[in-house]
Amino acid sequence: MNIRPPIFSMYIQASGAGLHRHLSVDTSIGSLKRFIDCQIAYRFVIPSGAYIDMDR
């Protein structure tokens, strides 16, 4: 049996109260071979009524 360890892990945490929330995302990628020029894209679905402060 060939069991490989996970190569991807992600931790998401929302903190704060009321209308002022902070979203933190921590991601790790590992491999038996190196990732060369690897990029990660996140996609979050945000409810249409949510306010996003892009200046912070």
Task: Give me the average pLDDT of each 10-residue run along the chain (56 residues).
Answer: 71 85 84 72 84 76
Cα–Cα–Cα angle for 23, 47, 15, nearest 5°? 20
Which pLDDT does position 52 carry in this prediction?
79
Amino acid 3: pLDDT: 64
**Residue 4 burial by CB count (10 A; 0-12/13-18/19+): exposed, middle or buried?**
exposed
Q: Phi and psi for 40 in degrees, rounded to 5?
A: -120, 135
Using CA atoms, how far apart are residues 55 and 1, in angstroms rounded to an integer? Answer: 51
Instruction: Note the pLDDT of residue 1.
Output: 62
* CB atoms near residue 2 (< 10 Å): 3
pLDDT of residue 35: 66
Q: Work out the number of other CB atoms within 10 angstroms of the CB of residue 17.
A: 6
